[in-house]
Amino acid sequence: MPKLTLHEASRMTRSKRIFSPYIVGGQPIRGQTIRGPIRGLPRRGPLIQGLPIQGPPLPFASHHAPPMSADSSAPISFPSISLCPSGGRWVSGIDIADIPVTSSGYTGVRRNLPQELPSLEELHRRGFKVLVCQPGETCPITDVEDRVICVVHILPPGQSRTVVLEANAAIEQAHERIFFTEKQENHRRGDFPAASYGISFGGGQTRPDFLKHSVKTNAILQSLLKHRAFNHFSDDSNYLFTTYGSQIRQSYLDGLAALQKWDPQLVPNFPGTAFAACTWNFGPAAVSYPHIDDANVAFGWCSITALGDYNPDLGGHLILWDLDLVIRFPPGATILIPSALLAHSNVPIQEGEKRYAFVQFTAGGLFRWIDHDFQSVEQWEKNASEPQRQQYEKDREARVRDGYNRFSNFSEVVRGSQRS
């Protein structure tokens, strides 16, 4: 079990004052916003350290969560709170290059992680950091080398209400109609059914192709792809991807273009998307155990969007174990993470609440197929010449050596924003 260290919440706002959902000495923290130098990126508040935190978190004025009284949960006392400094990001304490990948450099390494769903209280007892983002804000997370390794985005309240309610209804209707297979209902990620759609390669597939379903299930999932809410989430994720991970996103687009040239039938799920596939976690309480999506692209991102109807102050948080971090993650929130590298899970929601998720991803096996001249590794090894083998080995070494630096440096994001 990872030992979590102590550090507390960041807060971002475009308003003139900051309102913290945590109580300091019986009073909410307030402070003046510092205007950041980055056009198009969120402004950040001042840094506050060493303040004693007492009492339960206060809720945001949100349509997603019912009003919560001071006695509605057990008190959680955090020893300190820090707000994101003006500079534009939350800095983690890890170097992403310390997390291993497979020798080929295409995928992550699966870990033996416990199937547990720790509460906020338990996470606090282990020593915790909490990241809180204001509605309408975006918070990049960097490693110690200033690489942007994750990006959190919270929808504005009005926008999130409409799109989340529509997505919830679509998921619930689909859930009633789908007859889930044993594999879809029983998996290592959690106790909820899930179904994926899109282009993949792995898990017994002999070549890249669309994931297989019954005719009925296929039609239901295709109807979800056409729904405007999921097109909205696709657009949002790809905008974040372009802004904060342009090099990785371009490699995804190049890969999809190469696959479609090889087989014109392999059309991506959404217009303009960089992701090859997506998954719906149907719930009704889709909270995940700690896991690594090791079959995804190692040096890449997947997008996770939370849906449902739950109080995000009491549950549904996203836990990033390698960063010793828990993120307040309300319905409509999206995060881009290297899911093949970072172990992630959720805090349980309250009884009677609902939580779903919409995940977009790309399998690392697709790039393995492309780099082996659109054939399996076994077939390529039968046909490859010695110069081809030598060149492949050089490319493999470079892929592993340089892969971590495909994550954008935050200073590059800043410069790009200032030029726009």
pLDDT 10s digits, 255-300: 999 999 999 999 999 999 999 999 999 989 999 999 999 999 999 9
pLDDT exceeds 50 at position 65 = no
Q: What is the pLDDT of residues 227-262, one digit of tens each?
A: 999 999 999 999 999 999 999 999 999 999 999 999
pLDDT exceeds 70 at position 46 = no
Q: What is the CA radius of gyration of the chain?
A: 21
pLDDT mean over 124-139: 86
| Alpha-carbon span 260 to 345, nearest angstrom | 33
DSSP 107: B
| Alpha-carbon span 258 to 201, nearest angstrom | 14
pTM: 0.81
pLDDT at 21: 30
| Alpha-carbon span 143 to 372, nearest angstrom | 32
Which of the given ranges, 74-88, 307-321, 387-401, has the highest pLDDT on average?
307-321
| Alpha-carbon span 80 to 323, nearest angstrom | 17
Q: How many CB atoms lie within 10 A of CB 226?
A: 10
* Residues 6 or more apart whose Cβ sits within 8 Å of residue 347: 117, 118, 119, 120, 123, 287, 315, 316, 317, 319, 326
User: Which structural domains are found in the chain, ordered by start?
Assistant: 85-119+134-420 (3.60.130.30)
DSSP 265: T
Using DSSP, state whether 279 is helix, strand or coil: strand
Check if the beta carbon of residue 276 is closer than 8 Å to that of residue 198: yes
Which of the given ranges, 18-22, 45-49, 67-71, 295-299, has the highest pLDDT on average?
295-299
Using DSSP, state whether 225 is helix, strand or coil: helix
pLDDT at 137: 86
Q: Name the pLDDT band for 103 (thresholds 50, 70, 90).
A: very high
pLDDT at 63: 30
Q: What is the pLDDT of residues 352-387, one digit of tens each?
A: 999 999 999 999 999 999 999 999 999 999 999 999
